[in-house]
Structure 1
């Protein structure tokens, strides 16, 4: 209503709406005012339709739009360039902006996928709904059978969770049906008459269906189809469904099932496409028949090979992946179980890519060139066992112009990257710095760095100007890369966690003092750790923001540094540190915020010298601390 003129607002202010009593009775007519303001009229119908759902139901956005579409409310009128799904998305955004929807759930890209309706909003939808005129049936199955012929004008048949084992043959008589949902039923087979539903737009099939009905090939108006990953789809069906916008996945068959080429003419596919069984694709030429490069509406692409397969079945992986070049609009890419040696050249041109995951690419000997991609925000590399070195090629320096016209300022590398996760690179030894002339502009936005099971890593870069969260787990020579990452330049950390790191005897000097916003410190199973900081005393209040401190199974840790325990601390756990002798007294007013204190198997601790007491303590756990003779005051 923000777009209204001053005269329109005066009219609203004079409305009798504001004369209603306080509380919910007054809110309802105000909501009705917002409803009356909805334009065009079909948007009001879309809102009223939401009363079909029970209160507090998790409404899936795409499902709701498909239901609106089935009712015929999303057909083009003034702007014929918009698809029905696009218009439905606009309507959804309007209703969300007007607070008719709440409790939203979002996907990896920040897009809303689910929502709920407030009870009062649901009541309004019921109040304004003309449900007697709606061509929709949400049923538990009781009206099926001969009674189904009483609903010949039906556009929506929603049997979600209905206790039924079969659909009647008469379903083929529902010539106007556009939406059919049999998810979470006990249906095992479909009648052949399903192929007579020529106007069907959305079909949702239960994953336990024993046989995929071949008659679906007749449904040339089908736009959205959903079925389980393990559904055996016969070959030749998908190539007939050229209007498909949603396809959950394609499982490429060997001798039976659909071939990769069946994707070739499905250029209207939107959002997510997952392709499994790529070990069954013969070569790059066959892969290119999928015509992914023409599918400009695909935002997320998952390419999956079966990892456990004979060695002779991996020879063509490089060519197959090269042939699966997607459209440049791709935003999310996952490559799983690829057994080729080299990642595809088309990654160089993926300028819209936001996230990439390389999972189980065990034969790859190098990482792809990524540093030049302007929108890349997340990189996840897992189980690349042949990777021994991350060199200068990772940064993509050769693919970034060093200036724009007259400017000679070097452009940043990984300019948008926020999360970098490397796990299971068991033979990775060296992670090089960026080229010297570009080192000052690498990782300008990186906030989270995770290194797990990189056992042999001995070197890492030292320039992470925005790093907030650092997690390192199971590293045999962790002292050297940690010293590099936690260099004197790093001042932005808020979260630090080490687990199973060998060679770490102490955190680098000055690290705690310089990272004044550090709130979470967790060190576990670091067998060589003797102290947290090289200074045992003399620096105060070094962790002014620390709220969580956990130290577990550090056998040789002897003391905690002065200044570590401050009023901000809320939770502290010390577990199995048998040589820990010294816990410093709290500084600057005591541990006024400490809510949880746990000490277990700290055999040499004789006292807890919190002289100013623990006024906020709610949970105290002490176990097998045999020498402990005094406790702090607890209010």
Structure 2
């Protein structure tokens, strides 16, 4: 039951925040007068966290149903406690900024009465403790044990076989991915597409049809890869890839074709004529190869509309389209070439996939008992490569034949063998069940991502951080703090190693191999939607919304949200919108938000009420039409990630108040006043540092930004007066940077190190 894992992490979050209140004198001063209630909250949260941990690790039985209402009440209390502790931390940040600010305008922001604040917080904490006491007394009646642990924490996780880094084991990446049992199929498809007769057609369409998890997308990737290499390159001048999904919208498909062509967003092109015109310019007299992945449209009129647009792109002969679909009807509507009906793999081929995933060296001798069990598991895969990949990844983390045997004897195989979709979902569910609790939260949150989209690794990590799914920790053999970004990178690796992420791509321009993007199989995305449906609501997953429990919303018009009861909308912690214009009246209603993404919206300004979002950690405005930032953005003290429109050229001075900002994204033309960036000493990501002239930022502002990582570009170095001034940047102390680029504005060639 996913809610148990979620509660376990939520209780841990409360304990972590309570503990942090005793880290320095300022925090102790703020909680003066209700310190006893704070300590009681920590004790109650730890105790209930232990109860939840025990329940989460019990075998599933009928008692779980009886606990459902108890769990719902508890999770509501846990979130409320988290919000209250967040308010206390916000007050800490407010005082720090007030005491260090020299700007009278900024000082005018601060007018809180500390006595009133303490009384308000004391009352809220008391109410939380009373509610927790009541729930604790009810625990036994719903079948939950009253366990106490001397160490106050969750039980240690099981020992697992050590796994190699996904960066080193590069079969997870698209570049090196191998395809089992499909070599001849790939050759046959390429032969058909490049046949001289078909090359005389203006547009040819081939459909790849098969069950979910059978490898249709992987096959299309393999065909695409070969058509871009060697002699095959002469057949097509451009390769495009579009994930079609349930909504077969012509404008959306054309826009994604543009983005696939040169990775530039087509968000500013709204009309069909503008989209066709832009594609005509790019594809003029060029033969293109287009993959339409995961098509569900069975309306011939929709396909006719798209085909009519494709035929307008150019008059060159030889362009081709591959369609992947589970529906034979879809194929019959679209195809002009012989169909590829994809067959299941043999048991031996499934074992080959499992073996490759389960062992660091699949060519090394395998113990006979493991091979026997492994081959029996391969037979259970029903010829589906996705099932083999997921099971092989899971078996890699298991020690010995007994744990492999537990997979073979699992109840997931009770699903009738003729119901392949149900069987593959059971296999995916087994992989999910074996994840640790915080990682389950991270995976479930991926339901917020658009189905079929390319997942940017750093962006996903920042979303996890914003939701509080992970915290800094200390290593086993060192007191040096392990940062949230590093912890979440390990989580990302684990999901990739467990085949819950796939199609990873590398950054080949860097001096080390880094996985930068990946995708989720549509069935894996279905699993994420299923396990998060008690809290999440998106436009791509149709399920009945119980608005009193929803906390994360994606791609839903604000008009619908505004119809929700105040008590429900006030609980939202995530809001992703890329639809039309976001109503400014909604911001005061969603004060508990941790994540706000309004990229690609029509809004030209943000309201002053943005300052009400005290809990906000992540704000994405990229590709929005916003022309200026409101001064109230300076009150978002908890903000960790800020993504600005690339064409925005000016930031207000109050940005310097965002002292918790870790990831800051903006365009190359952004201008800052002197002294702003130098105050943001928590920064980990900064794309550009534009050295100013007299009133702009001096190079010395980089001196305190020693946590920067990744790639930094320093622009306009001609404004640095001499070597002594350059030394003040302290570049030698920025050991986390993997790449550094120097640039001048007089058109000289940049110098990279």
Interval of TM-score (by shorter of Structure 1 and Structure 2):
0.3 to 0.5
* TM-score scaled by length of structure 2: 0.40
Q: Please report the TM-score for the alignment, with normalisation by the length of structure 1.
A: 0.48
Q: Which has the higher helix share?
A: 2
Q: Which has the higher strand share?
A: 1
Which one has more relative contact order, counting CA pairs under 8 Å at least 6 apart? 2
